[in-house]
């Protein structure tokens, strides 16, 4: 078995950790209730807004070396 290492750019890491605004009511959402890693370096975050209760999804494309 081989160990494969990959590093992401700083901007991708910053966007991974940054809070986002709800697309429905514009309130801040601090943490997703679920995240998943998808093939080819995509990370999807699933959000539920505490203010309005609506669900949304964001994705981040990591630039892997």
> pLDDT digits over 28-64, tens only?
998 899 999 988 888 899 999 999 999 999 988 887 6
Q: Residue 10: pLDDT band by 50, 70, 90 thresholds? A: low
Bridge partners of 36, per DSSP, are 44
Measure Cα distances from 28 to 13, 19, 52 in Å.
Answer: 19, 7, 11
The answer, yes or no, to whether residue 4 has pLDDT greater than 60, is no
Q: Decide which of 64 and 16 is more confident.
A: 64
Which CATH code for domain 10-61? 2.20.25
């Amino acid at each position: 078995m081989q160990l494969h290492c990959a590093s992401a750019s700083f901007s991708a890491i910053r966007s991974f950790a940054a809070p986002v605004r709800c697309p429905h009511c514009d309130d801040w959402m601090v943490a997703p209730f679920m995240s998943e890693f998808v093939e080819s370096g995509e990370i999807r975050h699933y959000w539920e807004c505490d203010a309005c209760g609506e669900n949304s999804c964001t994705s981040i494309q990591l630039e892997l070396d």
